[in-house]
Structure 1
Amino acid sequence: MKFDSQGLIPAIVQHARSGEVLMLGYMNEEALRQTTATQQVTFWSRSRQSFWTKGETSGNFLRVVEIRQDCDGDALLVLAEPAGPTCHTGADSCFFQSLDGSVRSERVPPGTIVTQLSDLIVQRAVELPEGSYTTKLLKGGVDRIGKKIGEEAAEVIIAAKNASAEELKWEVSDLLYHTLVLLAEQHVSLEEIWGELRRRHS
């Protein structure tokens, strides 16, 4: 790897499952060694001239899943699982402003919402909060969830036959949500589905 004249290399941190870019930091050789040894993202602070492990004060650690280097060996991509908001402002990602400084609420890439929704459903499966529709589905088991998936699949077909884009978006969203609930009930992760799709694509 190629460290710069100050012995540093930029490290882009990306959500390992959603693909969202979370932050940019810098590592020297020791910070990289600590990161690989502890599996917690550790940087070298250029302003404080010291090491810092992301989350050591906030508790919002970044658990390392994988580290890659670019083709020139002068930048790192750190795939990590965030334990909470990554940005010190409380935002999930540090990249939430446009060039004019305006705050953007949409997270990128757009597919991030699927991972967010899946995580929320899995959380519901653990906590089973009263009054939650997801909780009712989960308590109803495969029979209740399967019935809803059948209904939603039929409504997707009807929407397509009606040639209604708005109706189709609504019904496909319903079908996707109920499918995610079924995956949670069956303890099958979203990543396992991505893996199967990759296997088929290859």
Structure 2
Amino acid sequence: MAVEFLDQLKAIIRERKQSASEGSYTAKLFARGTNKIAQKVGEEAVELVIEAMSNDDQLFKNEAADLLFHYLILLEDRNIDLDEVIAILEDRHRERQ
């Protein structure tokens, strides 16, 4: 189920990149360029680290979701599919066995 939703989310992000839907936060990020998208990924990573040190699991999960969402946008901006990144992790895992 999670994989299906990720595929659906990736498709929505790709569509927003191509159509630049008015009022879309994602389309606005693409319009602002790679540097702004990368900056957002960095901001969300910092926020996740901060929440990791708190005892509020819900805030931590929210920040983790924000980071994943912005990471997917950055991958799409660079024309790299998440599956390509996962393949690298799989290769690394096989090498260590």
Normalised by the size of structure 1, how large is the TM-score? 0.45
- 3-state SS of the aligned residue for 1:111? helix
Greater fraction of residues in helix:
2
The runs of 5 or more residues in structure 1 that have no matched partner are 1-108
Q: How far does residue 193 in structure 1 lie from its aligned partner after superposition? A: 1.4
Segments of structure 2 that go 5 or more residues without pairing to the other structure are: none
Q: Percent sequence identity over matched residues?
A: 37
Relative to its length, the structure with more strand (as a share) is: 1
| Structure 2 equivalent of residue 183 of structure 1 | 75
- 2:66 alignment partner, SS class: helix
Q: Residues 67-98 of structure 1: CA distance to partner in whole angstroms, max 9, x if unpaired?
A: xxxxxxxxxxxxxxxxxxxxxxxxxxxxxxxx
Higher Rg of the two aligned structures: 1
Residue of structure 2 in register with 1:199 after alignment: 91
SS of the aligned residue for 2:22 comes to: coil
Q: Which amino acid aligns with 2:86?
A: W
Aligned AA (1:123): E
TM-score by length of 2: 0.90
Question: 1:156 is aligned with what amino acid?
Answer: L
C-alpha distance in structure 2 between counterparts of 1:156 and 1:181, whole Å:
17
* Corresponding residue of 1:143: 35
Q: For 1:168, give the aligned amino acid.
A: F
The Cα of 1:165 is off from its aligned counterpart by: 0.5
- Compute the displacement of 1:112 (Å): 1.9
Which structure is richer in relative contact order (CA contacts within 8 A, separation 6 or more)?
2
AA in 2 matched with 1:133: Y
Q: In structure 2, what is the Cα distance between the partners aligned to 1:116 and 1:186?
A: 19
* 2:57 alignment counterpart: 165
- Distance (Å, rounded) in 2 between the aligned partners of 1:190 and 1:114: 9
C-alpha deviation, 1:196, in angstroms = 1.1
2:9 to 102, 117, 127: 117
Separation (CA, whole Å) in 2 of partners of 1:110 and 1:142: 27
RMSD: 1.0
